[in-house]
Amino acid sequence: MRVLSLINQKGGCGKTTVAVNLAAALGRREQRVLLVDLDPQGHATLALSCDGESCASLRDVLTARTSIRSAIRRTPFGIDLLPAAESLAEFEEASARMLKPETVLHDALQDVADEYDWALLDCPARADGVLSANALRASSIAILVVETGAFALQGALRARRIFERTARAQGSRFDIRVLGTLFDRRTKCGRELLLAMHSRFGPDMFDTVVRESVKLREAAARGMPVQFLAPRSGSSDDFAALAVELAATRLRDGHDLVARTVSREGTPAPL
């Protein structure tokens, strides 16, 4: 299981949108995907038409009230969800009494590591809290989701410094990759910013950029991934391209993110 977190310290930059639709894009390629909602707002939970309040949720897993397996829910969209409820915010306080509270999610995910190809972690905007620390501790890649608008580059550089500091403090070894989103190619500012991001982040930046699209807003409002609302849309294409690019990603330590599995016929299994 490869664990990825979608992260930025900025609110509203598209983390949840990327988490939900990238998860669905991987699911449509026969990948086994677990989406973990780490935000007490529960937006990823709502975006999959689930309700985190009425049954076991991530808070219960992090506080050892229930096992991860019994809190995971199957969705009609080809992916599984570990939902969030508002009470997840209480974990911040509870964690003050725990030894190494930032390792709880990592340890819980080990129990289902054989059951999924991917775990995608949708992080809250607060980058220095214990929930984001849990996400980073569990991840092999942190995807810094950057809205291609004004001041985005400065914000992204600041966020990367924070995550690098967290990695050092935790002794964790995750790679940081940058993904541009909410891109509008009609604006000069958007095009220039994307170029600036590529020159600043170089190979750490995904070639795929998620374009701004009303379909993504509509899909979230209807509680489904965009692939189910508009399978032939540009947004579905963007997330399909991102899934393929992700699978070809090579980690800084020289390992491929996806170990090339070989099918029974002897050819590498496609993503």
Ligand X SMILES: Nc1ncnc2c1ncn2[C@@H]1O[C@H](COP(=O)(O)OP(=O)(O)OP(=O)(O)O)[C@@H](O)[C@H]1O
Pairing assessment for the beta strands 175-181 and 118-122 based on DSSP bridges: unpaired
Q: How far is CA 30 from CA 68, 132, 239, in A?
A: 22, 28, 15
Site for ligand X in 207-246 (CB under 6 A): 210, 212-213, 216-217, 220
171-185 as b/e: b if 16+ CB within 10 A = ebebbbbbbbbbbee
Q: Report, in Å, the least distance between residue 69 CB and ligand X.
A: 26
Task: State the Cα–Cα distance between residues 120 and 65, nearest whole angstrom.
Answer: 22
In the numeric block, which tokens belong to residue 46? Answer: 């709502």
Q: Find the binder of ligand X among 181, 208, 233, 236 (CB under 6 A).
A: 181
Q: Report, in Å, the least distance between residue 39 CB and ligand X.
A: 5
What residue type is 125 in one-letter code?
A
Nearest CA to 44 out of 72, 68, 73, 15 is that of 15
**43 makes contact with Mg ion (CB under 5 A):** yes
**9 makes contact with ligand X (CB under 6 A):** no
Rounded CA Rg of the chain: 18
Contacting range for Mg ion; rule: CB under 5 A; set: 7-15, 52-60, 105-113, 136-144: 7-15
Cα first-last separation, the chain? 14
Task: State the Cα–Cα distance between residues 261 and 255, nearest whole angstrom.
Answer: 14
**13 makes contact with ligand X (CB under 6 A):** yes
Angle at 28 between CA 24 and CA 34, to 5 degrees: 45
Q: Find the binder of ligand X among 2, 28, 43, 160 (CB under 6 A).
A: 43
The answer to whether 147 touches 14, Cβ cutoff 8 Å, is yes
Q: Report, in Å, the least distance between residue 252 CB and ligand X.
A: 25
* Minimum CB distance to ligand X smaller for 14 or for 78: 14
**14 makes contact with ligand X (CB under 6 A):** yes
Contacting range for Mg ion; rule: CB under 5 A; set: 10-18, 80-88, 158-166, 241-249: 10-18
- Contact partner at residue 181 from ligand X, Mg ion, none, CB < 5 to 8 Å by partner kind: ligand X
Contacting range for ligand X; rule: CB under 6 A; set: 6-14, 159-167, 191-199, 245-253: 6-14
The answer to whether 8 touches 144, Cβ cutoff 8 Å, is yes
Residue nearest to Mg ion according to CB distances in the complex: 16
* Minimum CB distance to Mg ion smaller for 15 or for 160: 15
User: What residues line the site for Mg ion (CB under 5 A)?
Assistant: 15-16, 43
User: What residues line the site for ligand X (CB under 6 A)?
Assistant: 11-17, 39, 43, 125, 181-182, 210, 212-213, 216-217, 220
